[in-house]
Amino acid sequence: ATPTAIMVATGVGASHGVLVKGGDALERAESVDYVIFDKTGTLTQGKAVVTVAKIFSGMDLGDFLTIVASAEASSEHPLAKAIMEYAFHYHFNGKLESTAQKKEEIMAGWLLEATDFSAVPGKGVQCAINGKIVLVGNRSLLSENGIRIPQEAEVFLVNLEESAKTGILVAYDGAFVGLLGITDPLKREAAVVVEGLKKMGVKPVMLTGDNWRTARAVAKEVGVEDVRAEVMPAGKADVIRSLQKGGSKVAMVGDGINDSPALAAADVGMAIGAGTDIAVEAADYVLVRNNLEDVITAIDLSRKTFNRIR
Ligand code: ADP
Ligand code: MG
């Protein structure tokens, strides 16, 4: 392709919100064998919603939600925001109009003090409330702290996961108390884009830190056969490198802080949406419209510019 052709393609991309950082990046998109999608916030809307909270102990539901929200208050994770919202509505729905108070003020007066907070990447959060240790997260967070999940809760959890929901488990003072089910709907264009890539001869892959059962259920809905689940944030780039070792060219599409090393390791990194600054920095492409169709637009544009339409 001539420098002019590359300039024109870059301009065409930009007019669609597909920003490419230079001619090399534009050329590399032409030959990708795999497109790896992060699940949360990339294939899904990233707008998690709690659909159920269930207690498996004597604890009162209101107390349970207060404790969980207090533990999540310091977390930046999208799941934390969903949990806070749910707890807030449980306590204050209907009472908000009658008070002139702002949501933040109400929250501040209602949450319990959490000390020794730590985020455990890919697993959840840990803190102390009322002098008791509180754990909120996945199976592996609880099991590595020696918390046993009762059989009845395990059955409930498996059911949630098989219907594509993420189960968040809660332990208080060394014992399991209950769980929350969270759903994060697919983006409306996700399945069409996955199908489109297959038709172009590109293999779609889904990559996530979420558990295998939820991941498989989401992958099935969206039409992806190749799933890599329970991948810790640090392991995402390794998944890409292992595909590259086999001689494949790999594109990675992601949105979060966790995805930056993977975006950088990929032959073509695509940051979707406003994303985080750090993800945008690590990427070759920025897809500003937050629409997965632009992954296809980017590959198409590259193929047309370099005249190697397959
Ligand atoms: P993803 O790859 O889908 O973005 P993460 O690596 O961020 O997932 O998280 C993996 C899993 O760890 C989540 O599905 C959840 O079970 C658990 N987790 C992470 N952060 C939190 C949190 N703040 N509260 C509860 N659970 C969490
Ligand atoms: Mg993430």
Residue 22 phi, psi dihedral angles, 5° rounding:
100, 165
| Closest residue to atom 22 of ligand 1, CA basis | 124
Cα(80) to ligand 2 centroid in Å equals 12
Counting ligands in written order, the one closest to the CA of 122 is 1
Q: How far apart are CA 16 and CA 141, in angstroms?
A: 42
Task: Enumerate the active-site residues.
Answer: 38
From CA 159, how far away is CA 54, in angstroms rounded?
13
The pLDDT > 70 percentage for the chain reads 95
Looking at the CA of residue 119, tell me the nearest atom of ligand 1: 23
Check if 214 has its Cβ closer than 6 Å to any atom of ligand 1: no
Per-residue pLDDT tens digits for 254-269? 987 788 899 999 999 9
Residues of the chain below pLDDT 70 = 94-101, 103, 274-275, 308-310
> Is the minimum distance from the CB of 78 to ligand 1 under 6 angstroms?
no
28 lines ligand 1 (CB under 6 A): no
pLDDT tens for residues 224-252? 999 999 999 889 999 999 999 999 999 99
Ligand positioned closest to the Cα atom of 169: 1
Helix runs in the chain, H state only: 3-15, 23-28, 61-72, 78-92, 103-110, 139-143, 151-162, 190-199, 212-222, 236-245, 260-265, 277-282, 293-305
Say if ligand 1 is within 6 A of residue 39 CB: yes
Q: How far apart are CA 196 and CA 292, in angstroms?
A: 11
Question: Distance (Å, rounded) from C-alpha 108 to C-alpha 99?
Answer: 15
Pocket test for ligand 1, best of 138, 144, 231 (most atoms within 8 A of CB): 138
Q: What is the pLDDT of residues 91-133, one digit of tens each?
A: 887 565 555 567 677 777 789 999 999 999 899 999 999 999 9
Q: Can you read off the two tokens belonging to residue 40?
A: 């949360």
Confirm or reject: Cβ of 126 under 6 Å from ligand 1. no
**Distance between CA atoms of 134 and 174, rounded to whole angstroms?**
8
CA distances from 36 to 55, 173, 182, 206, 268 (A): 37, 40, 23, 6, 10
Tell me what pLDDT residue 275 has. Answer: 63
95 CA distance to ligand 2 centroid (A)? 34
Give the pTM: 0.91
CA 40 – ligand 1 centroid, Å: 9
